[in-house]
Amino acid sequence: MSQKPRRKSPSPQGKRGSELYEALDADWRKIGLPAPARRALVDAKLYKVSDLRNVTLDELIAMHGMGKSAVARIRTIMDAKGIRFR
């Protein structure tokens, strides 16, 4: 039985898979977002709440993995911090 060759990590630090996401999703973890939503945000290069100024609400909702509860939680945090969508 042959094994699939491993893909090279996109991270310059050599981190793979979940390690890469863990290194980048700390702010999203703090506010309690579920893993699919955290991965969607990291994939979109949105690493902290203030980065959401660069997207619209429609773009956020359209992200694969972004559920209603995650969007509601994000909006609550944004309101508390006075941050608005683009």
Q: What is the pLDDT of residues 21-40, one digit of tens each?
A: 888 999 999 999 999 999 99
Quick check: 77 and 31 in contact, CB under 8 A? yes
Domain boundaries, the chain: 17-81
**How high does pLDDT run on average in the chain?**
86
Quick check: 76 and 70 in contact, CB under 8 A? no
Residue 49 has which token pair? 């709440």
The model's pTM is 0.77
Quick check: 74 and 60 in contact, CB under 8 A? yes
**With pLDDT > 90 as the criterion, what percentage of the chain qualifies?**
71
Q: What is the third-level CATH fold of 17-81? A: DNA polymerase; domain 1 (1.10.150)
Quick check: 74 and 46 in contact, CB under 8 A? no
**If pLDDT is split at 50, 70 and 90, which confidence band does 18 have?**
confident
